[in-house]
Structure 1
Amino acid sequence: MHQVVYDGTYEGWLTAVFDIYEYRLQDVIFCIEGQPNTLLFAESHNVITDTSKAKRVLNGLKKKLSPDGVKAVYSTFMSEIDNAECKILEFVRHVFSNSKNIEGDLAHPAVRKVSEAVKMMRRESHRMKAFIRFKLTKDNLYYSIVEPDCNVLPFIEGHFKSRYADQRWLIYDAKRKYGIYYDLNETNIVQLHFSKDMVSAKATTEICDEQEEFFQHLWRRYFSSVNIASRKNMKLHLQHMPKRYWKYLTEKQPESH
């Protein structure tokens, strides 16, 4: 058993794949630097992230897969499903061991797992586009705090950049401790430290524009008015808007008095 230790980035993982092939490592398990080592008797291989090695692996995949297939590898990595790195490695091994494109080979477990991960990422990205609610701060920055199941911020960046091109905004992933900030010209990855009370009424009053609470109140009133009690279907409602998203949705917050 070989434990491959890398830095947790996609580029680092691609470098790890290069090393696995170069050193012919078998029975591989991945570990991120700094995380507890649970395999006491495994032989460790430490990966030094190398852009040239990563690029060679990526170029190899581009020759064997369609653009959607290459994106599927990245999507699966970002999905954070259990043992994602090993499942993509199985997929990559299947890609490189075949002369034909294997993307439609759903009978193969690795191809099926990647396909399932891609569907999960698409679903979560769609939900984030629908459920993100911005608040306006006193310095004219629109911000939103989210906790998606998967690491989807890079996948929804383009949507918000094009839709809100004339506004400064920040979407912050509280689960992964990073955000995407748009400054009217370009987007950048930022790391901030938001406390858990950032969504509280008190915090909103302190940092938000004076009109923000008024508009939130109007939105809650509108949401309440369009919901007809006699036609309420809670099961369907939860299916489309799972409860785990509610704490960041304006229409689900109680009125402050």
Structure 2
Amino acid sequence: INNVRLELDQLRILITDCTDILQCRIDNALQTIAEIQLCEPQQDPISLDEFSKLTDESSQQAVGLITKQASLCEKAVRYLLEVLKKRLKPHEQVQIKESDSEYYDCALKSAMNTKGHVTRCNDCQPCAFFNFLTIYWNKNIDAIVQCTRSSLETIRKRLQQPVRYVGEEVIRDQVRNPLFRTDIVLSIPNVLVKPSLDDMQSQLNKSANTMLKIGQDIPEWYHAQKLREITIKEIEKQALDEGEDVKLAVQAKAPKPLHK
């Protein structure tokens, strides 16, 4: 009974430690990434050049913040796995290998009929650790996507004036300041808007592309690199077994970089 109580106490401590790491370090870092704004339009209208400069500077600053938080998240995830690993039995710890050649290899792979493919049982400890890293790498990607989507949505809302209709009457609940500063120029016999709508649309597209490509400047986790290598090896072996062109199979099925 005393041994059972001791094990239960140790389990409670482990659960508390893991919960603290998950909530205070991992989830907090992911939430911080998701809330970063790649571009925060100013209250007053600005010129196209000012908007372009604002977007570039804000995106560069955001990349630095995201890189820092993603690195903290990766370190916290690996620290959590180390905490869990210390609680495993010695023979289970030996199964978990993190070297380049045996990166969390499935402990039961040799007993499975894989037909030459790299596969996992998803039941052994190495597979559990590997899948845990994959889940939180995907959550890291989701946070970056949410950050980008939120930033684009902020610009969209600034451009679109909120209106509602009551019968045939149009009611504007809140009039927002325009995003761009323009001039009305008399060019007889025409009246022109400078910059033109095409120029504004072009700048919006350029700024949106700048925000969408921040992923190419954000370093990937080490696990993401290994995951890509493992996936490519699996694709190559599967293509060889099925008599397909290996190069074409890799191009079609290989994981895309973060910014794509």
Tell me the TM-score normalised to structure 2 length: 0.20
The answer to which structure has the higher helix fraction is 2
Larger radius of gyration: 2
